Amino acid sequence: MKVILINGSPNKNGCTYTALEEVGRMLNAEGIETDFFHIGTKPLSGCIACRKCQELGRCVFSDKVNEFLDIAKDADGFVFGSPVYYASAAGALTCFMDRVFFANALSGRQCFYLKPAAAVVSARRAGTTATFDQLNKYFTISQMPVISSRYWNMVHGFTPEDVKQDLEGMQIMRVLGRNMAWFLKCKEAGMKAGIALPEREDTIFTNFIR
């Protein structure tokens, strides 16, 4: 089993990475393979609602979004990490996730269906809960079980060294890693025991107009 840890910070080895690394360390200790995916620093366009992904099976823009979609189908779980910018997720990560989740839905890829996910946020001081809430909405609209920890998944610090001194925050990351591993093992055991995935209904769209 494998979990992809997505670093949505422009700083490849910064505070967000430090938190994700602790989650990954626990996943590895529990026998779960991990891959890090850094969205990088090149500009990422937001979704332009062209719906070409429905026709092409991928986003019309060839960048990190399609690179991620190509590997996401083989992953068993995901942890998305973001720094806090003005009490919300980093702009590049928001663009990335908007396009990833929209292209996945319209193209029929099924990269995320019933795969566990978690959000991890990093801030010097505040804005973490608003960012945490923002990221979790991507998961709940995609039928992804959301993995929790013993507190909201956040760390505080201005530098990676500060984050490592946030003892409670680092413990939250470790608990998150163990909980993710436990869920994945339970899911695998259930599948082996013949427990089928839930019956799926055709999607119903209701427009709030008369």
Strand segments (E) across 27-111: 33-38, 77-85, 88-89
**Digit-coded pLDDT (tens) for 15-48:** 999 999 999 999 999 999 999 999 999 999 999 9
**Domain formed by 2-192, architecture:** 3-Layer(aba) Sandwich (3.40)
Q: Residue 138 is which amino acid? A: Y
Confidence (pLDDT) at 73: 95
**Digit-coded pLDDT (tens) for 47-66:** 999 999 999 999 999 999 99
Confidence grade of residue 210 (pLDDT, cut at 50, 70, 90): low
CA distance 109 to 3: 18
CA distance 62 to 17: 25
Q: Give the CA distances from residue 33 to residues 18, 56, 177, in Å, rounded to whole numbers and listed in that order.
A: 18, 31, 12
Query: pTM of this prediction?
Result: 0.96
- Going from N- to C-terminal start, the domains of the chain cover 2-192
**Digit-coded pLDDT (tens) for 79-127:** 999 999 999 999 999 999 999 999 999 998 899 999 999 999 999 999 9
* Chain-centre distance for alpha carbon 197: 22
14-48 burial, b if ≥16 CB within 10 A, otherwise e? bbbbbbbbbbbebbeebebebeebbbeeeebeebe
SS3 sequence, 106-160? HHCCCCCCCCCEEEEEEECCCCHHHHHHHHHHHHHCCCCCECCCCCCCEEECCCH
